[in-house]
Structure 1
Amino acid sequence: MDDPNQLDRAQLKYVKQEMTRFMMSYKFAVDQITTKVDILKQEFQYIHDYNPIEQINSRVKSPESIFKKAKRKGIELSLDSIKEHITDIAGVRISCSFISDIYRLRDMIEGQKDIDVIDSKDYIEYPKPNGYQSLHLILTVPVFMSDREEKVYVEVQIRTIAMDFWASLEHKIYYKYEYEIPKRLLDDLKEAAESAAELDRKMEALHKEIGDLKRDYDDDEEDLKNMLISKDNFKIPMDLLLSMVNPDESNE
């Protein structure tokens, strides 16, 4: 007859191995998303001489946090059930400079052929009642293990620096007051969120204006270059050369 204690140890070893593989799949999924975003960042910098991404952070919930959430939501405490019903075990948060960068980055992520977009929530266009703003994506990404391929959920949050700053402070305040925040502070938080949103709008307008000026300058520079190197204007008049080198002297 088998020793019951020996059987218990075997079961415990199996459960531990399965839990480790379960957690590893989410770590690998996060690594894939962060690598993809970093590649997009470098490519965008190379092609457009501009970087829309300020910071990339990632995390995987702890087993304790996962099981607490499953219990709170009434989800069966099995790995298969948790994998199916909890979509934010793996999370990636991306901070961008401007609101337009958020949507540009979203489009680039959604354009990846091996990524499936399961859900999208735009809390920028439609902020939460407390003022929270961010763009949330629920994605699945394939993770290739030694014996199988898994589609793993990853939650991606994309927001501006101002939105991220506000959300970080709001989280700390909620934690300090154990989620029982006085109404006065809730009102102040809402007002701060509106101020952050107004700052984002102003910076977006400045960003667009500077971009328009740069495009006009680049167009003028391109027109001048084409004029100078065209066949008909290959021989540049001396007075034009002098005016380009020293405009003051050419007017004397």
Structure 2
Amino acid sequence: MILERQNMLNIHQIEKELGEYSNREEIRDISELVNYYQLCHSAVGEFGTKLENLDADYQVRHNHNPIHHIEVRMKDVGSLLEKITRKGLPVKFESIKDNIYDVGGLRVITNYIDDIYTVQDNLLAQDDVTLLKQKDYVKNPKESGYRSLHLVVTVPVFQSDGVQVTPVEIQIRTIGMDMWASLEHKLRYKTDEPAEKVAEYSESLQDYADEINKIENNMQEIFHNL
């Protein structure tokens, strides 16, 4: 039984309320964006269930659970507009649907580096999951030192009028990688510090990324030898 329903926007209500303020094309774009958001939200829910099922299976039937925790997020409209503008695309719904694959996303935090690929393999082995893109920044780190495995995957979402196959981005990384990435994100996007200071800290973070990777490899080796 559903005890609490999320307060989702209704497309028909949007069209009715905005009808006197916007032209039809603008209303259509807004309505389609709301519909697509709901679709991506449902796809995130599908993958969330899959990952929670894997988490439960690891706990019950295995000696080691590779999943430390799972985070869910939906990209806000401001970030979407910034991203399509940066790509030089028209500010229209089609630009988002055809070019932005991380409207909905999940982040899986693992205990060890090998766990990243265990989770990936178990997820991609499921019949209704299709891999569209993979970027392995664990084996091939970014110049900044960033390490993470990025997957763009699709899953069928069942709606009242049929099935929609919808993309979701899943990032998989270790606790150490996640700690580093959170600080690097804050330094890159969330600080008003002078450029010289940011550059100095960025160089330090690049060194720390290598140190964290070395420590995590050593700890993984100890774990496997126990």
Query: Larger relative contact order (C-alpha < 8 A, sep ≥ 6)?
Result: 2
Cα distance, 1:147 vs structure 2: 1.5
Check the 8 A contact 2:29/2:92 in 1, yes or no.
no
Q: Which residues in structure 2 correspond to 1:110-189 (within 5 Å)?
A: 110-174=124-188, 175-177=190-192, 180=195, 182-189=198-205
In structure 2, how many angstroms separate the alpha carbons of the residues matched to 1:10 and 1:76? Answer: 17
In structure 1, how many angstroms separate the alpha carbons of the residues matched to 2:191 and 2:171? Answer: 24
In structure 1, how many angstroms separate the alpha carbons of the residues matched to 2:28 and 2:106? Answer: 30
Unaligned 5+ runs, structure 2: 1-17
Q: Residue 220 of structure 2 aligns to a residue in which SS?
A: helix
Match of 2:78 among 52, 61, 64: 64
Structure 1 match to 2:3? none
Structure ID, larger Rg: 1
Structure 2 match to 1:23? 37
Q: Which residues in structure 2 correspond to 1:77-96 (within 5 Å)?
A: 77-96=91-110
Q: Residue 107 of structure 2 aligns to a residue in which SS?
A: strand
Which deviates further from its counterpart, 114-123 or 64-73?
A: 64-73
In structure 2, how many angstroms separate the alpha carbons of the residues matched to 1:82 and 1:16? Answer: 12
Structure 1 pair 108–178 and aligned structure 2 pair: CA distance change class (3 A): farther
In structure 1, how many angstroms separate the alpha carbons of the residues matched to 2:22 and 2:116? Answer: 50
Cα distance, 1:19 vs structure 2: 2.8
In structure 1, how many angstroms separate the alpha carbons of the residues matched to 2:212 and 2:115? Answer: 16
Aligned pairs, how many?
Answer: 206
Unaligned 5+ runs, structure 1: 211-252
Check the 8 A contact 1:22/1:79 in 2, yes or no.
no
Q: Residue 124 of structure 1 aligns to a residue in which SS?
A: coil
Structure 1 pair 154–183 and aligned structure 2 pair: CA distance change class (3 A): same
Could you say what the CA RMSD is over the residues aligned between the two structures, in angstroms?
2.2
Structure 1 match to 2:68? 54
What one-letter code is carried by the residue in structure 1 that aligns with 2:128? D
1:84-105 Cα distance to aligned partner (Å, 9 max, x none): 1111111111100011111111
In structure 2, how many angstroms separate the alpha carbons of the residues matched to 1:64 and 1:185? Answer: 27
Structure 1 pair 194–9 and aligned structure 2 pair: CA distance change class (3 A): closer
Structure 1 pair 197–185 and aligned structure 2 pair: CA distance change class (3 A): same
Q: Which residues in structure 2 correspond to 1:202-221 (within 5 Å)?
A: 202-210=218-226
Structure 2 match to 1:106? 120
Taking only the aligned residue pairs, the percentage that are identical comes to 34
Structure 1 pair 148–77 and aligned structure 2 pair: CA distance change class (3 A): farther
Structure 1 match to 2:206? 190
In structure 2, how many angstroms separate the alpha carbons of the residues matched to 1:132 and 1:17? Answer: 37
1:131-163 Cα distance to aligned partner (Å, 9 max, x none): 111111111111122113222111111000000
Greater per-residue helix proportion: 1
Check the 8 A contact 2:141/2:147 in 1, yes or no.
yes
